[in-house]
């Protein structure tokens, strides 16, 4: 079963450049998942143990904004990745994720990835390095969103 | 010999034909010359100076269809005394127009290239003219990709046109918002995220970018990170303008007069200036 | 109005006693003579009716933020440097109505303004001022658009230049290569020579009009000695400049140092009062504003001088681009000495020193350049990177 997932892993941009052996190793933590429209991948506060590689569909990251309706702060789309909370304790989700289009994804088990990373530090380093790179891009993008750059005071 | 004083500062009279309400505080005016003579042809990205008599004059990008020269079209956001006065204009009222002024997006150099049209907020207004022309001569270009980012779904300008363009089989239109209510089904995230998701050949791509300066700066930076050449990316800058003739000095951007050397600039020539504060 | 070496370059002598003939010759031709005169303890430009209106026997003492008149021991007519006025106030008027509009319902009638300045003769134009006019010509006459008011006024003016016999305390025309000797752009150029026993003017023709005027003034060819005396006067002036400026690669220097700490230093002194831009003979910025009467039926657009030092000079929706005084001083100085070169092909500064004299806190543009340049040399010597 894991062997058929290796090529899918290899096709995802996050894992470009990994050798076959490492991919097989990681594939051991992976399984195919899918979510129907309006179904939740996870809720804020739940135990975070997954790293998602989105293959198709669209995921909305949202947060409750009571007394207002929840606000979508980001959408994650095909060839992107979702989930960092598995990297560091307390391993809890910071946002809620909902499929707003039917989603096909590869789910990588967080504990499994952490264990393999501890055992093989080269793998561990590479995983964290790539995660950091994407986190940096997301941070930059989020900062731009924070700036509310299209806002003009029309009063 | 007594000169006609202020010839280039003398507006031409235009009459309002139609008003169209766009998103909140934003509206589009269709104007026609009072004297019935032709409207001067414009290049993509150019602007006019519109006068409300007794109130003042402001620069406004042209956002109409270059192939429809009967009317002059401007999309305006009501933020100051002149734009608010324009917002109250009724059909038949008269205003003054000078122009067109400034440099333009060099669409004529994009033949055979993949074209990326990246708009942020109200920046979509002048880029709409680009889209009209591109559609009219679609076969000249490679892939045509429009990327549009704005604040929230309620702030999407020209929504029906965007949806119509999206329906074209040979156009790629991606829209994103900075945040959305939970019933939004489109993308959420900053417009630069759309660049990585688009597929184009950076080696033969040209990009026209318009929006808040910070949006253009990061969009240009993302495009160059993808491999698009600096001299193939064109931004539209905005500065205070009182004359549009290079005389009043207000629009200076270090050595450039935005009214004359711009508003359209190749990214390569202003990349360092964009990073300076208060220049 | 351009000088043509050879035919026009022949120099003649006009004795002091015959100097009034110059004014009468101009007035007879319908010129309103404008030149230096003492008013409110400064030498300004105003209408001159006779030679007696000139600041005869006056000299000026100028330094950073300081201007004083004092009496000379002789009766020189032009024994001072430049004052707070420049010729730009006549060629590029501070206040100008551009047009007016009359509304009747939905009908608007536009009435362009007609400019009717007097026929002027500028008497006492210094070399730095000739260069300033040439610089403003490049702004208003040699780009895609032409300023019709400037064009008409400039074309009509008769120019009587004066080669400076007195270096100003804040002058640095030698550094800027704009003087003290006038080479072209005048109808006549005068060099005043005052000795205990003699007082005369060496006069150079610069145009057919100059030659015509000279016909009505008693004169005779200049001797070698007289020519040498006049040249000595100018050489003395050149040797006593109050300031200097090293303009070597100044554009790149200032472009490179947009973040130099010196800008913070000058910002701590600069009041952003804009005096420098008002007195500078090349500063050209203007703004426009619309006025209307109470009924809203009559509207006018006016153009007035403006200054990049004002807070809303660079205003856009959401605020101004240059809010700090640091950025506004940097804008003015960088434009004047650096960006101007890219824009118009020459420096914007003619070394007249007015900005230094009339700055209430005595900020000295030559000192600011030196400081920035010096810091580079210091870094190079210490081998470090700034």
pLDDT tens for B115-139 read: 999 999 999 999 999 999 999 999 9
How much is the pLDDT for B2?
37
Does the beta-carbon distance from A154 to B178 stay under 8 Å? no
How much is the pLDDT for B3?
37
C4 has pLDDT over 90: no
Q: Could you tell me if A152 lies within 8 Å of chain C, comparing CB atoms?
A: yes
Does B95 share its domain with B148? no
* Percentage of residues in chain B having pLDDT higher than 90: 97
Cα gap A23→B127, rounded to integer Å:
45
Does B124 share its domain with B87? no
Secondary structure class of B126 (helix, strand, coil): helix
Does the beta-carbon distance from A141 to B78 stay under 8 Å? no
Whether residue B1 is contained in a domain is answered as: no
Does B120 share its domain with B156? yes
Q: What is the mean pLDDT of chain B?
A: 96
| Torsion from C-alpha of B103, B104, B109, B114, nearest 10 degrees | 140
Q: Quote the pTM value.
A: 0.94
* Mutation choice for B interface testing from A14, A101, A151, A154 by most B CBs within 10 A: A154
Does B11 share its domain with B114? no
CA nearest to B213 within chain A: A149
CATH code, domain carrying B177: 3.40.50.80
Tokens for B32?
Answer: 């026609």
Residue C383 binned pLDDT confidence (cut-offs 50, 70, 90):
low
Whether omega for the bond prior to residue A74 falls within 30 degrees of 0, making it cis, is: no
Q: Produce one character per residue of C3-26: b if its CB has 16 or more CB atoms within 10 Å, e if not.
A: beeeebeebbbbebeebebbbebb
Query: What distance in Å separates residue A148's CA from the closest CA in chain C?
Result: 13
B-C contacts (CB, under 8 Å): 152
Does the beta-carbon distance from C143 to B278 stay under 8 Å? no
- Point out the domain boundary residue: B101, B128, B144: B101
Domain spans of chain A?
Answer: 2-146
First-last CA distance in chain C = 49
Does B27 share its domain with B84? yes
Chain C CB contacts of B99 below 8 Å: none
- Point out the domain boundary residue: B101, B133, B165: B101
Q: Which domain holds residue B70?
A: 7-101
Whether residue B224 is contained in a domain is answered as: yes
Chain A CB contacts of C319 below 8 Å: none
How much is the pLDDT for B164?
98
CATH code, domain carrying B47: 2.40.30.10
Does the beta-carbon distance from B57 to C290 stay under 8 Å? yes
Does B33 share its domain with B133? no
A-B contacts (CB, under 8 Å): 83
CA separation, residue B206 to residues A83, B44, B69, B250 (Å): 34, 15, 26, 30
**Looking at chain A from residue 38 to 97, which residues have their Cβ under 8 Å from any Cβ of chain B?**
58, 60-62, 69-75, 77, 79
Does the beta-carbon distance from A60 to B188 stay under 8 Å? yes
Condensed to tens digits (0 to 9), the pLDDT of residues A95-129 reads 999 999 999 999 999 999 999 999 999 999 999 99
Does B84 share its domain with B194? no
Whether residue B55 is contained in a domain is answered as: yes
Q: B187-188 and B172-177: which strand pairing?
A: parallel
CA nearest to A71 within chain B: B181
Does B128 share its domain with B180? yes
Does B136 share its domain with B223? yes
The CATH classification of domain A2-146, taken from the options 2.60.200.20, 3.30.530.20, 3.40.50.10800, 2.60.120.10: 2.60.120.10
Contacts with C29 (C-beta within 8 Å, 6 or more apart), sequence order: C213
In this prediction, the answer to ipTM > 0.85 reads: yes
Residue C8 binned pLDDT confidence (cut-offs 50, 70, 90):
low
**Domain total in chain B:** 2
- Point out the domain boundary residue: B68, B101, B134: B101
Whether residue B57 is contained in a domain is answered as: yes
Cα gap B278→B50, rounded to integer Å:
27
Residue B212 binned pLDDT confidence (cut-offs 50, 70, 90):
very high
Does the beta-carbon distance from B151 to A148 stay under 8 Å? yes
CA nearest to A72 within chain B: B180
């Amino acid at each position: 079963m894991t062997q058929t997932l290796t090529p899918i892993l290899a096709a995802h941009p996050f894992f470009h450049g990994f050798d076959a052996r490492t991919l097989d190793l990681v594939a051991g933590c992976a399984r195919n998942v899918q979510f129907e429209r309006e179904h939740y991948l996870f809720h804020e506060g739940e135990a975070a143990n997954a790293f998602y590689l989105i293959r198709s569909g669209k995921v909305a990251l949202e947060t409750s904004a009571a007394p207002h309706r929840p606000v979508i702060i980001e959408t994650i789309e095909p060839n992107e990745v979702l989930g960092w909370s598995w990297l560091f304790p307390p391993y809890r989700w910071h946002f809620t994720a909902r499929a707003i289009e039917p989603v096909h994804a590869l789910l990588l088990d967080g504990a499994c990835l952490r264990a393999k990373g501890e055992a093989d530090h080269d793998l561990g380093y590479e995983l964290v390095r790539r995660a950091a790179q994407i986190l940096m891009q997301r941070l930059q993008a989020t900062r731009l969103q924070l700036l509310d750059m299209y806002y003009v005071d029309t009063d | 010999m007594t000169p006609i004083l202020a010839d280039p500062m003398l507006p031409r009279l235009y009459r309002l034909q139609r008003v169209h309400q766009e998103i909140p505080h934003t509206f589009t005016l269709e104007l026609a010359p009072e004297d019935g003579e032709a409207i001067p042809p414009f290049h993509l990205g150019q602007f006019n100076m519109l006068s409300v008599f007794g109130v003042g004059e402001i620069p406004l990008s042209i956002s109409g269809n270059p192939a429809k020269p009967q009317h002059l079209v401007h999309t305006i956001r009501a933020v100051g005394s002149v734009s608010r006065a324009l917002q109250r204009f009724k059909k038949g009222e008269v205003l003054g127009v000078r122009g067109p002024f400034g440099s333009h997006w060099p669409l004529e150099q994009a033949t055979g290239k993949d074209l990326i049209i990246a708009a942020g907020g109200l920046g979509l207004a002048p880029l709409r003219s680009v889209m009209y022309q591109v559609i009219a001569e679609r076969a000249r270009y490679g892939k045509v990709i429009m990327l549009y980012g704005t604040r929230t779904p309620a702030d999407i300008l020209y929504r029906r046109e965007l949806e119509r363009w999206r329906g074209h089989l040979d156009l790629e239109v991606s829209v994103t918002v900075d945040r959305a209510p939970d019933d939004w089904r489109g993308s959420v995230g900053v417009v630069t995220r759309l660049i990585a998701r688009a597929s184009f050949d950076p080696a033969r791509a040209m990009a026209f970018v318009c929006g808040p300066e910070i949006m253009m700066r990061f969009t240009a930076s993302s495009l160059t990170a993808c491999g698009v050449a600096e001299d193939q990316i064109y931004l539209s800058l905005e500065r205070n303008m009182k004359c549009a003739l290079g005389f009043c000095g207000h629009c200076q951007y270090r050595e450039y007069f935005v009214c004359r050397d711009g508003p359209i600039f190749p990214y390569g020539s202003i990349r360092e200036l964009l990073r300076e504060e208060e220049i | 109005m351009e000088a043509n070496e050879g035919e026009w370059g022949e120099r003649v002598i006009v004795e002091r006693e015959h100097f009034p003939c110059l004014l009468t010759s101009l007035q007879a031709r319908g010129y309103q003579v404008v030149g230096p005169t003492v008013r409110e303890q400064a030498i300004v430009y105003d209408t001159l009716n006779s030679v007696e209106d000139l600041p005869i026997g006056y000299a000026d003492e100028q330094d950073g933020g300081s201007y004083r008149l004092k009496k000379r021991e002789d009766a020189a007519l032009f024994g001072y440097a430049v004052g707070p006025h420049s010729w730009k106030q006549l060629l590029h008027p501070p206040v100008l109505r551009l047009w007016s509009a009359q509304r009747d319902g939905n009908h608007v009638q536009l009435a362009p303004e007609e400019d009717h300045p007097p026929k002027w003769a500028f008497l006492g134009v210094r070399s730095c001022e000739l260069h300033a006019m040439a610089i403003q010509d490049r702004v208003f006459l040699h780009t895609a658009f032409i300023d019709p008011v400037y064009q008409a006024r400039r074309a009509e003016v008769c120019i009587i230049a004066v080669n400076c016999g007195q270096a100003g305390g804040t002058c640095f025309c030698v550094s800027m290569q704009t003087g003290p000797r006038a080479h072209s752009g005048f109808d006549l150029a005068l060099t005043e020579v005052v000795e205990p026993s003699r007082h005369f003017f060496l006069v150079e023709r610069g145009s057919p009009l100059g030659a015509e005027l000279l016909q009505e003034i008693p004169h005779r060819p200049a001797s070698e000695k007289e020519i040498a005396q006049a040249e000595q006067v100018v050489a003395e002036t050149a040797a006593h400049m109050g300031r200097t400026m090293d303009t070597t690669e100044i554009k790149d220097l200032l472009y490179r140092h947009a973040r130099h700490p010196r800008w913070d230093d000058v910002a701590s002194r600069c009041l952003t009062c804009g005096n420098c831009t008002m007195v500078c003979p090349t500063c050209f910025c203007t703004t426009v504003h619309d006025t209307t009467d109470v009924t809203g039926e009559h509207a006018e657009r006016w153009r007035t001088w403006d200054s990049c030092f004002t807070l809303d000079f660079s205003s856009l929706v959401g605020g101004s681009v240059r809010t700090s005084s640091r950025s506004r001083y940097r804008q003015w100085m960088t434009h004047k000495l650096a960006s101007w070169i890219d824009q118009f092909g020459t420096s914007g500064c003619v070394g007249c020193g007015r900005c230094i004299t009339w700055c209430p806190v005595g900020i000295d543009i030559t000192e600011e350049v030196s400081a920035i340049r010096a810091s580079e040399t210091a870094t190079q010597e210490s081998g470090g990177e700034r």
